[in-house]
Each structure stands twice: as C-alpha cells, then as structure tokens.
Amino acid sequence: MPGMDGLEFCRRFRELPNSGYGYFILLTSKSEKGEVAQGLDAGADDFLSKPVDFNELRARINAGARVVSMERQLSEKNREVSEALEQLQVIHTAIDNDLRQARTIQQSLVPERVREIGTSRVSLLLHPCGHVGGDLVGMFTPGFDRLGLYSIDVSGHGITSAMVTARVAGYMSSVFLDQNVALEKRFEKYYAMRQPAETARLLNQRLAADPGVEEYLTMGYVAVDTQSGKVRLVQAGHPPPILMRQDGRVEYVGDGGLPIGLVDEVSYDQVEFVMKTGDRLLLYSDGFTEAVMKNGEMLGEEGLADIFSEVMKGGGDGPEMLEDMFWRLTANMQDAESLGDDVSAALFEFDVIRQD
C-alpha cells in the first residue's frame, strides 16, 4: 500500500471512534518473534507468514468471522443494557423523588419538636435511617395539665413500615382528638385520658383488624399529670424508659410486655411512678441501644444512660440535649456514615422551667 503499511493501517483503524470491530490477519514473509509481537501490539488478531496456505487462510477467516459476529452480538446486548439502564435511571429518579416527598410527609407527622407545658417541657427527636422509616414519636395534650407522650418502633424498615407509622399517627392524633384511641370523650365537652394499658389494648385491636398488615410495633407510652408529676406507663415490647433523677440517679422503668399487633386479644400491664422537680424521662427506640460502636459492641441501655448523664451535666434545654445525644452516638459508631436503624427519642423534663 502506498504511503502506509499494514501495521500502520491496523493501528489507525483501532484508533477510530465507534468503528466497530475489525478482525485483522497480517500476512508477511517475516516470521521473527519480534515482528509478530509488533503486529499484535498494533492491534492485529492473527498472523500468517508467506507463502500462505489458502485452506489455512480460509479457516482463519472463518474463525475471524465468528469472532466479529460474537462481537456484534455483544455490542447489541451492551446497547440493550445501556438503554435498560437509562430507563432504570429514570425510574430510580422518580422513585427517589417520591421517597423524598414521603420523607417530608413523614416528618410532618411530628409537626412540633418541642413544647412547653407550664414549667415542664417535651422534646422529640426523629432520624430515619433511610428516606423514610418505621419510628414515630409524638405528644398530645387534651388538657392544660395532661400529657400523652409516646415512642413507637414498627418492625422492618422503609416504605411499608413508614405506611404503618402513618396509620398509627392517626390513631394517636394530637389534632383530631376524637380519633385518638388514648382519649375518650366525656359529657360531649372534654376528653379524658384512658389508662395506658387500655390504650395499648385498643391499639393492638386496631392493628389486628387491618387486613394484610403483617408488621407489628413496640411502644412506650406515658400519660402524665403535669401538675403532680404522676406518670402512668405502658411498655409494649419497647426498650425500658430511662428516668434520670435530678441528682443523677438512673432508673429503668417498665415491665416489658408484648409488641402491639403481634398477637390478637392481648392485655397489658402498666407502671406508675412520680417525677420530682428536675427529673427527666427518656423514651427511645432500639436504634440507640443496638447501634454498633467502634469497639464492636452495641451501645446498650447502660451506654445510653451514660450518654444521657453526660448530656444532662452539660446543661442545655431539651432539643439541644437530644441532638447532643444523637451526635455523641453517631460520633462513636463503627459506621458513622450510615445509620443501621431509625433513631428516635422523646424527652419529658418535669418542672425545669423557672417562672420569672
């Protein structure tokens, strides 16, 4: 070929973009190993030395044709895969946008994260491990001296669990009190708080009646008299609440109990205790206690109580304390980049706000 030899032609062809695959057989009178290596480096697929046996050449060409055919099939498959990936990306983007909106909706289930009730204060913390999660915290006040406070953890993660939490949020509504199973209307004038054990029983009854719902939930729920400090607690399979006395003493309260929605027709026990000025009660999900720390062990209830004590000594109000606890948790986790479970908490501080 004038101006270009076979090796240069092969090399330039290989450099062409989107040229498809060409199968090169170099014919040469040279058979030295160096020349063969030079040809293969240039992009040749095969090598024949002159004089050429035409039967061997035909066989080599047929082999090359099979390679080119397979390459074309592979290219077609790659094209189909690329198109499928583009379609999946569109679908993924749509789902991601939906999940982001779902996260916004779920966060709206906890419209207020802090509320002062007389000289006491309630603070809420909710951090899903994904876009949406199965944890829920909330409060409601049917009267100036009455408070309902709960922490709920639905089994599993993701969308299904989030849908159950949305349903339960309606059953414990702070806006539509007539739909709240923890309340009963008296004399068509006001709402009285049911016993927590009865609330848990009714909630279990509601979930058991929902067809197709296989998820269950654990719950810590307290009914508080904010004047006297009397607290009634039901602990339906939820981690034991931590009662931090004003002097730093730690008490774990609750008698366990079965989760809600797991078994039909369940009765629950409740615990009663009294809080004094400066006492703090923490309801939390196992996203705290089952978090794996840098030492390879779970934080546990005692570890959480230690964090609670350190934060309490540092001062600050309720929301700051909860966020500080969450920061201390994630800073010492084995995998601080991602939560393995939803993390939530509800903090009640009794008689801590000074009146001027």
- pLDDT, residue 127, reads 87
In terms of domains, do 153 and 74 share one?
no
- Provide the domain count of the chain: 2
55/141 same-domain check: no
What are 276-295's pLDDT values in tens digits?
A: 999 999 999 999 999 999 99
Whether 38 is in a domain gets the answer yes
Same domain, residue pair 333 and 196:
yes
In a domain, residue 63? The reply is: yes
Same domain as 335, residue 205: yes
Q: How far apart are CA 290 and CA 339, in angstroms?
A: 11
The pLDDT of 50-70, averaged and rounded, is: 87
Whether 134 and 54 share a structural domain: no
Boundary residue ending a domain (54, 80, 106): 80
Last residue of a domain, one of 26, 60, 80: 80
User: What CATH number has the domain bearing residue 291?
Assistant: 3.60.40.10
pLDDT of residue 176: 87
- Say if residue 232 is in the same domain as residue 301: yes
Considering the domain boundaries, does residue 99 fall inside one? no
156 and 238, same domain (yes or no): yes
338 pLDDT higher than 80: no
Q: Tell me how far apart the alpha carbons of residues 355 and 69 are, in angstroms, rounded to a whole number.
A: 86
- Asked if residue 211 is part of any domain, the answer here is yes
Beta carbons within 10 angstroms of residue 207's beta carbon: 22
Strand 120-127 vs strand 343-349: parallel, antiparallel, or unpaired? antiparallel
pLDDT band at 94 (very low <50, low <70, confident <90, very high): confident
* Cα 69 to Cα 226: distance, rounded to the nearest angstrom: 81
Q: Residue 88 falls within a domain, yes or no? A: no
For residue 147, tell me if it sits in a domain.
Answer: yes
Q: What is the pLDDT of residues 174-216, one digit of tens each?
A: 888 888 999 998 887 789 999 999 999 999 988 877 766 678 8
In a domain, 107, yes or no: no
In this structure, the answer to whether residues 75 and 129 fall within a common structural domain is no
72: number of Cβ within 10 Å: 12
Please give the residue range of the domain that contains residue 63.
6-80
Structural domain contains residue 69 = yes
Q: What is the share, in percent, of the chain residues with pLDDT greater than 90? A: 42
Could you report the per-residue pLDDT of 103-146, keeping only the tens digit for each?
677 666 676 889 999 999 999 999 888 777 788 999 999 988 89
Shared domain check, 72 and 22: yes
230 and 176 in one domain? yes
Specify which of 158-162, 238-242, 336-340 reaches the highest per-range mean pLDDT: 238-242
Of 33, 61, 80, the last residue of a domain is 80
Query: Residue 24: CB partners within 8 Å, gap ≥ 6?
Result: 10, 13, 43, 44, 45, 46
Average pLDDT, the chain: 87
CB 186 within 8 A of CB 258: no
Pick 6 or 105 by higher pLDDT: 6
Same domain, 76 and 136: no
Q: How far is CA 61 from CA 14, 22, 23, 202, 265, in A?
A: 19, 12, 9, 80, 79
pTM attached to this predicted model: 0.74
Instruction: Answer yes or no: do 166 and 28 share one domain.
Output: no
Q: What is the CATH number of the domain that holds 69?
A: 3.40.50.2300
